[in-house]
C-alpha cells in the first residue's frame, strides 16, 4: 500500500492533520493507522461511556462518513511496529508495509504503572482509552463490583472516580501528594475540591500509596504503605501517562522526554512530523519546548503538521497546559502555571474566594497572565485565557479582572476588537474551554 500522507494515530492529532491536509490537497491519498478497534473518539469522554451517559457512537470525534467524504483510508485495530525513514516505509502488525510521502506520528501516551506486589491479578485496570473503559464496564457487571480503589487523585483518577460513583460503587482514592488534582489545583482549591468529592461518599487517602494488591487470583483489596488495608473488588491505576517514544527512537529521530519538533511540527527528519502527547512542542508560558498532553494542543498541533505536510508553510505559535472539566459537579478551568513553580520569584498572585468558588491568576513582572485557576466560577475563563494567550498586560485592569461580572467591557477598544476578531491560528482559543 502507498500513501501520500500516512498518519499513525487515530485520535485528535491525526484527525486535525487529515482535515488540514484536505483543505490544501483534495487528491493526495491519506491513510490513518490506529491501534484501537474504534474510529477516532473523544478520549476525555470515556468516563461518560463508563458511567452509561454516552454510547461509543456518541463520543466519536468524527462521524463514520467523515472518512469516506474526505477519501481517507482508516486502518483500525492495526499497530505500526517500525518506521524506516530511509525507505519511507512503515511495518504493520499484520505483516504488511505502507510506503509514504509524508508521515505524521501521533502515538500518544502510555499509562504509568508502578511495580506493585500482586498487580497482575484479575480486576486491575488502567483508564486511558476506550479499551480500558470497556474492560472495566464488563468486570463491574460480571463481578457485581460494589467497592473500588483508585490509585491517583489526578485528572485520570478523578474522571474514573466520578464515573464509578455514578454507577453506585464505593470509591477510595489513594493519592501520594497532599491533595487531589495537585498538578492543576493549589492547596486552597484542593481543599474545596476535597470537600466536594467527599460529599459524594468518596474516601480520600492522601500522602499514601499502595504497596500490595490483596486476593488470591483477583482483587480483594489493597494494602497501603502504612499497613492499612482497604477492602475492594477492583483496582484502577490512574497515576498518569508518559510519552510513547519507542517508534521515534527506533527511527533515529531526536527525542528528549518527547520527540522534538520545530515550529512546523517537523521532527529531525524532514518528511516526518509529530504531534500530541508524545511530542515536545512550544509552550508560550514557559517559553520552552515541553510535553503538554492535552486534547486541544494535540488537535491544533495536528492541524499545523497537516498544513506543512501538504506544502502550506504554517507556524505553530505555541500552546500551554489547559484543562476544562467537571467532576462531581465541580466546574474547573486551569491553564499555565495554575500551581506555582518551585521558583516563584517575580510572580504576583491574585486570588479571591467567594461562596460560589475560587479564582486565582498568576502574573509575571510584565503584568502578563502566566497562570489561571477557576473553580466554580468559570464563566470568565475564556476571556481570561484569551488575555493569557495574547500575553496582554493586565495591570491596568487587575483590580477588576477577578470580579464576577468581568468581561470585554473592561478591555480597551483595541483589545476588545482583537479578542472578537483577532487571528488565533496555531494557538488554543478561549472557545476551547467550552468543548
Element (H, E) at 1: none
Q: One fold for both 113-239 and 329-434?
A: no
Q: What is the pLDDT of residue 295?
A: 87
In sequence order, what DSSP letters do the residues of 32-95 get, joined into one string? EE-SSSS--B-GGGHHHHHTTS--TGGGBSS-THHHHHTTEEEE-S--EEEEETTTTEEEETTS
Q: What is the pLDDT of residue 343?
A: 85
Q: What is the pLDDT of residue 413?
A: 53
**pLDDT tens readout for residues 301-327:** 999 999 999 999 999 998 999 999 999
Residue pair 316/263 in contact (Cβ under 8 Å)? The answer is: yes
Residue pair 303/281 in contact (Cβ under 8 Å)? The answer is: no
124-125 and 234-237 as β-strands: parallel, antiparallel, unpaired?
parallel
Question: Which burial class, exposed, middle or buried, applies to 142 when counting CB atoms under 10 A from its CB (0-12, 13-18, 19+)?
Answer: exposed
Strand partners, 210: 224
- Within a 10 A sphere around the Cβ of 408, how many other Cβ atoms? 12
Q: Domain 329-434 is in which class?
A: alpha beta
- What whole-number distance in Å separates Cα of residue 333 and Cα of residue 324? 4
Q: pLDDT below 50 — which residues of the chain?
A: 423-435
Mapping DSSP to helix (H, G, I), strand (E, B) and coil, where does residue 273 land? strand
**CATH node for 2-109+242-309:** 3.50.50.60
- What whole-number distance in Å separates Cα of residue 284 and Cα of residue 327? 28
In sequence order, what DSSP letters do the residues of 134-160 get, joined into one string? HHHHHHHHHHT--EEEEE--SHHHHHH
What's the predicted TM-score (pTM) here? 0.91
In sequence order, what DSSP letters do the residues of 160-184 get, joined into one string? HHHHHHHTT-EEEEEESSSSTTTTT
Query: In the CATH scheme, what architecture does the domain 113-239 have?
Result: 3-Layer(bba) Sandwich (3.50)
- Within a 10 A sphere around the Cβ of 45, how many other Cβ atoms? 21
- Domains of the chain: which residue ranges? 2-109+242-309, 113-239, 329-434
Q: How far apart are the first and last CA of the chain?
A: 36
- What whole-number distance in Å separates Cα of residue 250 and Cα of residue 106? 15
97-105 and 272-274 as β-strands: parallel, antiparallel, unpaired?
parallel
Amino acid at each position: 500500500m502507498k500513501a501520500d500522507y500516512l498518519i499513525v494515530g487515530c485520535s485528535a492529532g491525526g484527525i486535525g492533520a487529515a482535515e488540514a491536509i484536505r483543505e490544501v490537497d483534495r487528491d493526495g491519498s491519506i491513510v490513518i493507522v490506529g491501534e484501537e478497534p474504534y474510529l477516532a473518539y473523544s478520549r476525555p469522554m470515556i468516563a461518560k461511556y463508563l458511567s452509561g451517559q454516552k454510547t461509543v457512537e456518541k463520543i466519536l470525534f468524527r462521524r463514520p462518513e467523515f472518512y469516506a467524504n474526505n477519501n481517507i483510508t482508516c486502518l483500525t485495530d492495526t499497530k505500526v511496529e517500525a518506521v524506516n525513514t530511509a525507505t519511507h516505509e512503515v511495518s504493520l502488525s499484520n505483516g504488511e508495509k505502507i510506503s509514504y510521502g509524508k508521515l505524521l506520528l501521533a502515538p500518544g501516551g502510555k499509562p504509568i504503572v508502578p511495580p506493585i506486589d500482586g498487580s497482575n491479578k484479575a480486576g486491575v485496570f488502567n483508564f486511558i482509552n476506550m479499551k480500558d473503559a470497556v474492560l472495566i464496564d464488563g468486570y463491574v457487571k460480571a463481578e457485581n463490583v460494589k467497592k473500588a480503589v483508585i490509585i491517583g487523585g489526578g485528572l485520570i483518577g478523578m474522571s474514573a472516580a466520578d464515573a464509578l460513583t455514578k454507577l453506585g460503587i464505593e470509591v477510595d482514592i489513594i493519592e501520594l501528594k497532599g491533595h487531589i488534582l495537585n498538578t492543576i489545583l493549589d492547596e486552597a482549591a484542593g481543599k474545596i475540591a476535597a470537600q466536594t468529592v467527599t460529599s459524594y461518599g468518596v474516601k480520600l487517602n492522601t500522602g499514601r500509596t499502595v504497596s500490595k494488591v490483596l486476593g488470591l487470583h483477583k482483587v480483594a483489596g489493597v494494602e497501603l504503605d502504612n499497613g492499612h488495608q482497604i477492602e475492594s473488588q477492583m483496582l484502577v491505576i490512574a497515576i498518569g501517562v508518559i510519552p510513547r517514544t519507542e517508534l521515534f527512537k527506533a527511527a533515529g529521530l531526536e527525542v528528549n522526554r518527547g520527540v522534538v519538533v520545530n515550529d512546523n511540527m517537523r521532527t529531525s527528519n524532514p518528511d516526518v512530523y509529530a504531534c500530541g502527547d508524545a511530542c515536545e512542542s512550544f509552550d508560550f508560558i514557559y517559553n520552552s519546548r515541553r510535553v503538554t498532553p492535552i486534547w486541544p494542543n494535540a488537535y491544533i498541533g495536528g492541524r499545523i503538521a497537516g498544513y506543512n505536510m501538504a506544502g502550506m508553510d504554517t507556524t505553530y505559535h505555541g500552546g500551554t497546559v489547559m484543562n476544562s472539566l467537571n467532576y462531581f459537579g465541580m466546574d474547573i478551568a486551569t491553564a499555565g502555571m495554575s500551581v506555582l513553580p518551585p521558583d516563584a520569584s517575580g510572580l504576583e498572585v491574585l486570588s479571591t474566594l467567594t461562596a460560589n468558588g475560587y479564582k486565582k491568576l498568576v502574573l509575571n513582572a510584565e503584568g502578563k497572565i502566566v497562570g489561571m485557576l477557576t473553580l466554580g466560577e468559570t464563566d470568565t475563563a475564556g476571556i481570561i485565557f484569551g488575555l493569557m494567550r495574547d500575553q496582554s498586560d493586565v495591570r491596568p485592569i487587575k483590580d477588576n479582572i477577578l470580579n464576577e461580572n468581568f468581561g470585554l467591557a473592561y478591555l480597551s477598544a483595541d483589545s476588545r476588537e482583537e479578542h472578537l476578531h483577532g487571528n488565533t491560528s496555531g494557538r488554543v482559543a478561549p472557545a476551547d474551554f467550552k468543548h
